Structure 1
Amino acid sequence: MLELAAELLTRVRGRTPFVTATVTSVQGSAPRQPGASLVVDADGAVLGNVSGGCVDAAVHQACQEMLQGDHDPRTLRFGYTDDDAIGVGLTCGGTIEIFLRHHRAGGEPGLETAYAAVVGDEPVAVATIVRGPDAHLGRTIVVRPGRPTEGTLGDEQLDEVAVRHVTGALHAATTGTVEIGVADSYCQEPMTMLVECHGPAPRMLIFGAVDHAAALARLGAFLHYRVTVCDPRATFATPTRFPYADEVVVDWPHRYLGTQRVDGSTVVCVLTHDPKIDVPLLTAALRLPVGYVGAMGSRRTHEQRLVRLREAGLSEVELRRLHSPIGLDIGARTPQETALSIAAEIVAHRLGGTGLPLRSGVPLHRRVGPPGFPAWPTGHHEHSVGITRPRSFSGSQE
């Protein structure tokens, strides 16, 4: 739901009723993960999707029916069997559960706060009871660091229990379900809470104001990174040359990096090709808790760079963190193709991908990335539909 925050904020402020259909559970192969939503508003507009097309039409119809009739929250289940392969279901073979909820005009100030926080790129979490007693089903709370909690799940003690769970999820910037109730000694009937989290956009720091950097900045923005381009040459480091960067900085790269707050989601891409810049910059970057460090250059350049980095005091453990030559082997030649190669490696590293063709038999859907690099992606009234139980780079980096 939070992925559509900007559009939903407009509808809340315009007092337009709408229905959200949000993925809460996935089993097996499925195109979308928990938190993905399809929204239908009272004006007939449709936003988002929950399946990449497999069951979206059926979900859309259910949303329209909720807008026009019974507003009680409910769960839809979609799966696949050989018997109903041509019916409504997930042809990829998985099973998903989707929670439908009606949002009335002006009735949820907490959600307006949440949507506004996402638009402002502030950390926020929305927790919704998606399985449990009718008195709690569909209720939400909104949690923001250092701010009062908004909304209620229907009971003060339950809110306190939920906030503890939500705070942990928000710190990890993860979206998923949490079981509460019995385990927390709160009540005899368990409840399931969907926690949707939004954290500030991860950073992509690109060093070197070159054509490859301009192409990579555009892809970084497309992948929802906050992109910075840094270069000590004021003539080349200009906003006009990098329209997709959030900021363009004229400074020595190692000095600029030393002033920045970074974390496990930060990406550092060194495209400078200049030893007097590369060595101090990579020496600093490889000792920081960033998620990815890559450097452009030919294999000969890489070997010469390794010698200089060892002379600068970097250990073999630190050097193994360096992705160089940067990118995956896709046969790239142009700056745009090279940027795609780099972006593909960043995504594969973040999510634990192999970089192999999918037809080779590797799993289609991974849900977690490698340690230290966070992945950035059932209730009452249930309705069942078809239920069943070596990286390298071959492009030019001279």
Structure 2
Amino acid sequence: MNNRLLLAELQARLRAGESLVWLGVARCQGSTPREPGAHMLVGRDFALGTIGGGHLELRAREIARAQLAAAPQAPRLERFPLGARVGQCCGGVVWLSFETVTPADLGWVAEANNLAAADVPWLRLSALDRRQVEVLPASAADQRAELQPLLQALPQRSGDQALLADIGPALLLERFRPPELHLALFGAGHVGRALVQVLAPLPLQVSWIDPREDEFLPALPANTRRLLSDDPLAEVAALPPDSAVLIMTHSHALDLELVRAWLARGDFRFLGLIGSAAKRARFEARLRAGGSSEAQLARLVCPVGAPGVGGKEPEVIAIAVAAQLLALRRQASSATHKTRRVA
């Protein structure tokens, strides 16, 4: 469960009048099940997300619910030696932050959701000795001299993360980033619908393109936007560089033209076409006749899906393709880097 979905759920429940605990991994030492920046929501009879499972999460839920049952409290920090305190074999140490969030906090939650929806990297600062939270775009932190040492201390890995700073009262800095991979999905058939559902909780952003309005899911996941287009081919130029592209429309002729357009564009991270080896052979012959080079054709992935996952059921294909996409998240094409440098 990614943090964007947790924040959307948090906002919806606050608007309904609920109070919850925003529970996060603030610091780790040694081997631990999750890294700083992992979060979950805990309500009186509700929990969403995970900070690693097992006895650690069970104990964390108990603490969170006890905090909700008490009078509104300042945030708290708990240290968990995983072996000695909760009997987990990881052997490391985890510091968890517990922050009660009430409808009175809708301001910062709404601002966080707005920044996430706009794909803007953002920061959340929480003073753990009092109920004081600040949300700001990451770019605004450049003007804040007091934040520079904290930002420099954050790990350079990708994805969301957190840093617990012991400067005076403990300060928790959380950095949230847009999804690492954009997927352009052409086709809203059985496999397309299954794939969108599989990808819903994952850190990917999906643009879903099809000319058939009735084929889309009635309710779209938070990480998916629908592009209803009479001419899907015309959408190719407007999609962002470094995208993963999956082509699985209702028409082989449209599939061919989409593959041709993406090969000509070239600045994609992945280009996948659903179908068999025989379909690939037919497409390659037509693309060669149209002037596509061998180097271009070598970038086309068909059939798609992680090797070794057999089955023709839409859900099985979707899981195999999702595994293939997740392996792409931290890769980048040289063509894209060149494009960004020129830009």
TM-score of the superposition, structure 1-length normalised?
A: 0.63
Aligned partners of 1:212 and 1:59: how far apart in 2? Answer: 38
Q: Secondary structure in 2 aligned to 1:330?
A: coil
Rounded Cα–Cα distance in structure 2 between residues aligned with 1:210 and 1:19: 39
Match of 1:158 among 146, 152, 176: 146
Residue 240 of structure 1: aligned partner: 214
Structure 2 match to 1:141: 134
Where does the alignment leave 5 or more consecutive residues of structure 2 unmatched?
Answer: 335-343
1:347 corresponds to which of 301, 326, 338: 326
1:1-398 matches, within 5 Å, as 2-13=4-15, 16-26=18-28, 30-41=32-43, 45-67=46-68, 68=70, 71-81=73-83, 84=84, 88-92=86-90, 95-103=93-101, 106=104, 109-115=107-113, 117-118=115-116, 120=117, 123=120, 125-128=122-125, 139-144=132-137, 157-158=145-146, 161=148, 174-177=159-162, 193-199=172-178, 203-208=182-187, 210-221=189-200, 223=202, 225-230=205-210, 237-243=211-217, 246-247=225-226, 249-258=228-237, 260-264=238-242, 266-272=243-249, 276-286=253-263, 287-328=265-306, 329-350=308-329, 369-371=330-332
Q: 1:326 to 1:10 in 2, by over 3 A?
A: closer
Report which structure shows greater RCO (CA 8 Å, sep ≥6): 1
Quick one: which amino acid aligns to residue 124 of structure 2? A
Structure 1 segments unaligned to the other structure (5+ residues): 150-154, 182-186, 231-236, 351-368, 374-398
Q: CA deviation at 1:294?
A: 0.5
Query: One-letter code of the match for 1:158?
Result: E
Q: Percent sequence identity over matched residues?
A: 23
Checking the alignment, whether the CA contact within 8 Å between 1:32 and 1:52 is kept in structure 2 is no
**How far is 1:58 from its partner?**
1.1
Greater share of helix: 2
Whether the 8 Å CA contact 1:80–1:89 is kept in 2: the answer is yes
Distance in structure 1 (CA, Å) of the matches to 2:103 and 2:189: 49
Describe the shift of the 1:102–1:179 C-alpha distance in structure 2 as closer, same or farther (beyond 3 A): closer
How many angstroms apart in 2 are the aligned matches of 1:164 and 1:95?
23
1:14 CA displacement: 5.7
1:141 Cα offset (Å): 2.6
C-alpha contact (below 8 Å) 2:115/2:122 kept by paired residues:
no
Shift of 1:139: 4.8
RMSD: 4.4
Summarize deviations over 1:14-42 as a string: whole Å, max 9, x none.
6655432201334565444433323345x
Check whether the contact 1:128–1:140 (CA below 8 A) recurs between aligned residues: yes
